[in-house]
Amino acid sequence: MSKTPELHDASVAERYIGLRVGNVFTIDALVGTGSSGHVFRANQAGLVRPAAIKVMHRSFLASEEMRARFHREARITSRVIHPAVVPVLMTGELPNAPPTEGEAFIVYEFVSGSTLREVIRKRSLRLPQIIGILIAAAEGVGAAHRVGVVHRDLKPENLMLLGDEHGAMQLRILDFGLARVSEVTEAPLTHTGAVLGTPEYLSPEGARGQPATARSDVYSLAIIAYECLTGAPPFVGTSPIRVLMQQMEGDVPPLRALLDLGEIPSLITDVVCKNLAKAPEQRAADALEFATMLRHAATRSQTAVESCGPTTDLWQTAGSLDPAPPPTAQPHEPPGALPRNR
């Protein structure tokens, strides 16, 4: 996560360390800062496990839209039930009384590992690991697609890799803060024509400010695949505008794999390049189809795949289970996180 100039980390930590949230979680450390809020590690009462609490920046307190975005992120993320998607445990608002000022918050399961960005920089991945990571990411995003959720901000920073004592990797998908749903039950918080996402991973239609679809996420996954294989995304530039122009009009540079990976089977590179098509209808319909294409290409080319998580056979969707939305703190609780009264 990037640092923002809003406050020095020590000052932020001093405000929140020791705070009890929802009468369940106690904040014990600041772990990162993003564009919309600070992320803290917390301990859950009665259980020996940590949680991650994202607290809205105080500079956004006057913004009802930003407050709505926080709660919308929690609702949207809770729709997706898949081992690769970090679950939401609670959402609410802190008390509007010192030391807090009614900040919105979301509680997630805490995950600790390395982002795919960090791993790519080390250039330590082997081809079987790369294919496994891409399939796991596509299956997790595909679970979101099957319940009408489009992520809209897929990039290596939002894919976390966790290792276990046996050296096996598990993947987690982070940050559904820009996600949208394709149903009318969620009112859009952005206007058509707004460019949302990270330019290097944004689809051509996204660069034009057009609505994102599942095929837009597939394009972002193909960009990530290209970067895993070559060490860099296909389009870079000295300014975001230059990158967006390349996304819309530029030809994808030939995929020249890192020397350490050896020769990449053409069946695999063909899948990546096909899903970098400018026209959305020429890409896979959703991320699950993209995962299937990668798996078939690996099988046909006799390329080993190192598993990076459960397969699609093990995931279930919110559509089939009809889960309750993430809990919110209740007004009758003692000092802690309470919903904001309006």
Question: Active-site residue numbers?
Answer: 153
Instruction: Report the distance separating Cα 40 and Cα 24, nearest Å.
Output: 14
Other C-beta atoms closer than 10 Å to the C-beta of 117 total 15
Residue 140's Cβ-side half-sphere holds a number of Cα atoms within 13 Å equal to 29
Sign of the CA dihedral running 114, 120, 125, 127:
positive
- Find, among 243, 244, 301, 249, the residue nearest to 272 by Cα: 301
Helix (H) or strand (E) holding 270: helix 266-274
Looking at the DSSP assignment, which residues form a beta bridge with residue 53? Answer: 40, 107
Tokens found for residue 26: 């106690």
Strands 37-44 and 25-33: antiparallel
- Distances in Å between the alpha carbon of 116 and those of 82, 231, 309, 319? 19, 12, 15, 29
List 146's β-bridge partners, or say none: none
Contacts 24+ apart (CB under 8 A), 54-58: 54/105, 54/106, 54/107, 54/108, 55/16, 55/94, 55/103, 55/104, 55/105, 56/103, 56/104, 56/105, 57/4, 57/6, 57/103, 58/6, 58/101, 58/103
Helices 287-300 & 127-145 angle (0-180, nearest 10): 150
Confirm if 2 and 35 have CB atoms less than 8 A apart: yes
